[in-house]
Amino acid sequence: MKRMDLLSELVLENQTKLVLFVIDGLGGLPGKDGKTELEAAATPNLDKLAAKSETGLLQMIEAGITPGSGPGHLALFGYDPLEFRIGRGILEALGVGAHVAPQEVCARGNFATWGPGDVVLDRRAGRISTEKNKELISFLSENIKEIRGVKVRLYPGEEHRFVVVFSGDNLSEEVEDADPQKNGLPMRWANPSSARGNLMATIANEFIKKVRELLAKEEHANGCLLRGFSQAPHMPMLSQLYKIKPVAIATYPMYKGIARLVGMDVVDVVDREHSLEGLFEALSSQWDKYDFFYVHVKYADSYGEDGNYDAKREIIERFDSLLPKALELKPDVLVVTGDHSTPSRLKSHSWHPVPVLLSSPFVRPSGGAAFGERTCASGTLGIMPAYHLMGLMLAHGLRLAKYGA
């Protein structure tokens, strides 16, 4: 029997409140002072909570495997990411409110800065503003409606991100990313990963070339990249699996998308200047309506990818300063973790396990003096597969019956 099926068989209805804080890219590597961003951050509230909680490290996929945000989040929600494989494009599409029919293919787009010889100078186009993004998408939508009989729909996202949906016959998601993955490299064009992807790869490359022509005069966003070609999957819903009423509180489209994919309601939050205040205000305002709260904090990941150690540390400190607002609500179970590590030294996601803290009235406290990678490594949870976390949250929320006689 699969773990998810077992949990679903044992689950009990209850009124306990469960909160899952996901600080995107939380894990790091030591900087110049020998401490990770989390270890260097001033986090008195997290440290105090960790001392009376169970702590450990989450292995998001398998040892040595670097997870994307999609698999990382699926694991946190209790899905085995090796069984449920989902393209990033569909998550982004659902996040921006796009409807993707079974025969359609969507992809996540990045506006990018291209140089001579099709060299990609900046894969994020200097992180253009969301307002500029909307302006460009409106212009492109008027000028690219169809390619070789395949209809094209475009949706703006946050900053440099957008979503494109292709609608036509004989399309397949079996296409590799059209993205060199690093700045300063020549464009890597879309290639089919099987014969079924030939048409979609051709359409994708023609779309990218058309965008390049239309935006040639733009200073920063003069081209684009496409990643995560995907079609709509079938997923079992969290509410049916675990008898919970879940809600997602997030700012970025992709994380709203993955929440919708597993059946969560989504609260739109405007987080001005990375204050994080809106996330905690939404948690409080929705407290009486739901019993499972997924709260996503994006910016630690963004700064990690930028190689900005200090800014990542400051976001963690900002989260810590607001944590008492959540504690005042008296959740029955509270978890703080990440969906993957994003060390600023690497400027990318990494394979390193992610710190986790679980607080409830029924813990065996780890007793660590602080919440950090190395203190969590010696915690009572040990190094645990991330998709086991949901079962622990349900158990601590008194939502699982005994197994067997």
Q: pLDDT for 142-154, tens place per residue?
A: 999 999 999 999 9
CA dihedral 68, 74, 77, 83 (to 10 degrees): -140
Give the CATH superfamily of 3-85+236-396. Answer: Alkaline Phosphatase, subunit A (3.40.720.10)
State the Cα–Cα distance between residues 229 and 178, nearest whole angstrom.
10
Burial of 259 (0-12, 13-18, 19+ CB in 10 A): buried
| pLDDT tens-digit map of 56-89 | 999 999 999 999 888 999 999 999 999 887 777 7
Find the radius of gyration of the CA atoms of the chain: 21
Q: Are strands 185-186 and 18-23 parallel, antiparallel or unpaired?
A: unpaired
- The one-letter amino acid at 349: H
Helices marked H in 101-249 — which ranges?
Answer: 130-143, 198-214, 238-242
- pLDDT band at residue 398 under the 50/70/90 scheme: very high
pLDDT higher than 70, residue 93: yes
Within its chain, how far is the Cα of 78 from the centroid? 15
DSSP SS3 for 395:
helix
Indicate the domain borders of the chain: 3-85+236-396, 92-230
State the Cα–Cα distance between residues 293 and 49, nearest whole angstrom.
19
State the Cα–Cα distance between residues 28 and 24, nearest whole angstrom.
11
Average pLDDT over the chain reads 93
pLDDT higher than 70, residue 202: yes
Question: Is-contact 92 257, C-beta < 8 A?
Answer: yes
| pLDDT tens-digit map of 113-144 | 999 999 999 999 989 999 999 999 999 999 99
The tally of CA atoms less than 13 A away on the side-chain side of residue 49 is 22
Helix (H), strand (E) at residue 121 = strand 119-122
| pLDDT tens-digit map of 262-290 | 889 999 888 777 889 999 999 999 999 99
Helix (H), strand (E) at residue 280 = helix 277-285
Q: What DSSP character marks residue 223?
A: E
pLDDT recorded at residue 1: 66
pLDDT higher than 80, residue 102: no
- Cα dist. 222→107, 169, 268 in Å? 19, 30, 30
